[in-house]
């Protein structure tokens, strides 16, 4: 009897946790992140062939495969599989954007690309970088959106002003960040090279923001260099 109880306890705990995530997931607006990932794939498909490791449309294929797979795993309650799937896809996307930024510098130094085309590619890479890291922050912070809602905790990686300025910051029932808040954070990081109104708490978040800032700085330097050369 005791052996049966010990064996069944983790199962009950796991099922209870899964049920909490299913309930919490109903309060999450998933469509903005899905639409953003699709937009990233479409933007990347517009890049010049010399700025990608393979055909530009390959990343769009990855996105089109990820979206329904993420939806199915969420529907089946396979939260760990969904997390690995989404973060793995975002890793591919962020690596592709970083490589394209490096190739952008190569094209600038070689002066082989058309000036207008170079500026367009730099703008596309910059925008892809912002959207990609907005998704990464959204998925990484606090274990993901469903986990944040299940724990009723706004954030573990960032300190948003709505929570810091609350009457009781320790109260977990207050304001909850949405995707737009992470998009705003990523936009500020790419423009001001800092999170502005949001404090960064976790080391992994700091590392991710440094990565985003480097890619953004590369594209801005390329645009500035191209502009100086035209004067």
Residue 90 lies in a domain: yes
Residue 23 lies in a domain: no
Residue 6 lies in a domain: no
Q: Is the pLDDT higher at 97 or at 117?
A: 97
Question: Number of structural domains, the chain?
Answer: 1
Q: Is the pLDDT higher at 34 or at 155?
A: 34
**Residue 156 carries which DSSP code?**
S
Residue 143 lies in a domain: yes
Query: Confidence class of residue 5 from pLDDT cuts 50, 70 and 90?
Result: very low
Q: Within its chain, how far is the Cα of 122 from the centroid?
A: 19
Closest by CA to 27, choosing from 152, 203, 162, is 152
Residue 160 lies in a domain: yes
The pLDDT of residue 230 is 53
Q: Residue 3 pLDDT more than 60?
A: no
- Cβ atoms 101, 47 nearer than 8 A: no
pLDDT in tens, 186-223: 999 999 888 888 899 999 999 999 999 999 999 988 88
In degrees and rounded to multiples of 5, residue 111 shows phi and psi of 55, 40
> Domain limits at 52?
29-229
The pLDDT of residue 175 is 80
The pLDDT of residue 79 is 85
- Cβ atoms 219, 104 nearer than 8 A: yes
């Amino acid at each position: 009897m005791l052996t049966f109880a010990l064996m069944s306890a983790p199962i009950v705990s796991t099922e209870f946790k899964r049920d909490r995530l299913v309930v919490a997931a109903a309060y999450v607006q998933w469509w903005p992140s899905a639409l953003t990932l699709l937009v990233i794939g479409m933007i990347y498909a517009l890049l010049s062939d010399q700025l990608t490791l393979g055909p530009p449309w390959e990343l769009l294929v990855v996105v089109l495969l990820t979206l329904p797979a993420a939806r199915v795993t969420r529907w089946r309650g396979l939260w760990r599989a969904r997390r690995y799937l989404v973060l793995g896809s975002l890793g591919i996307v962020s690596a592709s954007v970083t490589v394209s930024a490096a190739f952008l510098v190569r094209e600038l130094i070689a002066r082989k690309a058309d000036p207008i085309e170079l500026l367009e590619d730099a703008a596309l890479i910059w925008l892809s970088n912002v959207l990609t890291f907005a998704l990464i922050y959204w998925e990484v912070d606090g274990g993901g959106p469903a986990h944040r809602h299940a724990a009723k905790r706004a954030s573990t990686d960032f300190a948003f002003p709505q929570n810091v300025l609350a009457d009781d910051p320790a109260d977990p029932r207050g304001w909850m960040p949405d995707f737009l808040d992470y998009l705003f954070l990523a936009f500020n990081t790419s423009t001001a090279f800092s999170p502005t109104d949001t404090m960064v708490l976790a080391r992994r978040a700091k590392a991710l923001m440094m990565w985003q800032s480097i890619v953004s700085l590369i594209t801005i330097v390329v645009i500035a260099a191209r502009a100086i050369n035209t004067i």
